[in-house]
């Protein structure tokens, strides 16, 4: 009697072990299927992203142009290009009884039911710069350039004003603020704050090192001395920006 009971218990234990093994194997298969499904989805998303990139660059010669001035090297839609819907998070500006829309360095005006890419009027103001811009110096004044448009900061208007190009800019190449350092805002600083911080750190770096990369160097300095001054300036800029909450590379 005891033998039968022990046998039944042994069979029950073996059955439970087998069931647990089956469940564990099923979990492994399910996890593997989930990973495979994730990899397939990610691959599909990447293919779609790559296709969108290819489509953008394939249409670039027709609808877009490459702005190479001052090594800006960004693509923008050509004037006259039109869209049915504006990009999200665009900025609306009312200027001289006309409505303009600004996004990513591109300006639009409504025409009928569509929005057409245009050149902005001189004097229009935006509270922030495009996400991508190039800083140039001319006559001791920083100009911010993107998409054939020049901006200057106007404290009295609390914004960046679209302005005429600096005089005689085609006859001489203005110095650019060095772009060797790439900064990443760690505290969600706005584009305007980034520009202000970078300019302030540039001024601080010049004061600390006596070297201004936006100005011609003295002919009395050798190339090695210029390189050393530049390295000191870059270290000062890095320390200043990191102190203001940026990651600098």
pTM over 0.85: no
pLDDT of residue 42: 45
Rounded percentage of the chain residues whose pLDDT exceeds 70? 65
Measuring CA to CA, which residue among 232, 240, 238 is closest to residue 212? 232
Rounded percentage of the chain residues whose pLDDT exceeds 90? 23
Distance of CA 213 to the CA centre of its chain: 24
Domain boundaries, the chain: 1-63, 74-118, 177-249
Query: Mean pLDDT across the chain, nearest whole number?
Result: 75
Residue 54 has pLDDT above 50, yes or no: no
Strands 125-126 and 134-138: unpaired
pLDDT of residue 137: 76
Residue 76 has pLDDT above 60, yes or no: yes
Q: Read off the pLDDT band of 101 (50, 70, 90).
A: very high
Q: Read off the pLDDT band of 124 (50, 70, 90).
A: very high
Spatial CB neighbours of 227, under 8 Å, sequence gap ≥ 6? none
Mean pLDDT of 164-173: 70
Strands 159-163 and 82-83: unpaired
pLDDT of residue 16: 65
Residue 48 has pLDDT above 50, yes or no: no
Q: Read off the pLDDT band of 93 (50, 70, 90).
A: very high
Measuring CA to CA, which residue among 229, 176, 238, 175 is closest to residue 201? 238
Q: Read off the pLDDT band of 123 (50, 70, 90).
A: very high
pLDDT tens digits along 169-228: 665 555 454 445 667 788 888 767 777 787 788 888 888 888 876 665 556 777 677 778
Residue 51 has pLDDT above 50, yes or no: no
Residue 89 has pLDDT above 80, yes or no: yes
Element (H, E) at 12: helix 2-63
**HSE toward the beta carbon, residue 78, CA cutoff 13 A:** 8
Mean pLDDT of 138-162: 87
Q: Read off the pLDDT band of 59 (50, 70, 90).
A: very low
């Amino acid at each position: 009697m005891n033998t039968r009971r022990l046998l039944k218990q042994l069979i029950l234990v073996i059955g439970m072990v087998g069931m647990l093994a089956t469940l564990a194997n099923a979990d492994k298969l399910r996890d593997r299927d989930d990973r495979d499904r994730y990899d397939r989805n990610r691959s599909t998303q990447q293919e779609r992203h790559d296709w969108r990139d290819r489509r953008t660059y394939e249409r670039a010669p027709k609808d877009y142009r490459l702005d190479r001035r001052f090594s800006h090297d960004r693509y923008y839609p050509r004037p006259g290009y039109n869209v049915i819907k504006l990009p999200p998070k665009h900025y609306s500006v009312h200027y001289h009884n006309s409505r303009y829309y600004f996004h990513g360095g591109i300006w639009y005006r409504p025409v009928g039911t569509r929005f057409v890419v245009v050149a902005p009027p001189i004097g229009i103001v935006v509270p922030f710069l495009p996400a991508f811009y190039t800083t140039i110096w001319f006559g001791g004044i920083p100009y911010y350039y993107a998409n054939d448009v020049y901006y200057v900061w106007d404290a009295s208007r609390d914004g960046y004003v679209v302005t005429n190009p600096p005089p005689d800019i085609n006859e001489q190449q203005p110095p650019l603020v060095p772009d060797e350092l790439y900064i990443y805002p760690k505290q969600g600083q706005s584009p305007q704050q980034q520009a202000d911080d970078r300019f302030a750190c540039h001024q601080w770096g010049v004061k600390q090192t006596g070297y201004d990369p936006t100005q011609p160097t003295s002919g009395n300095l050798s190339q090695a001395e210029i390189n050393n001054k530049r390295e000191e300036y870059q270290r000062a800029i890095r320390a200043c920006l990191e102190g203001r909450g940026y990651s600098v590379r």
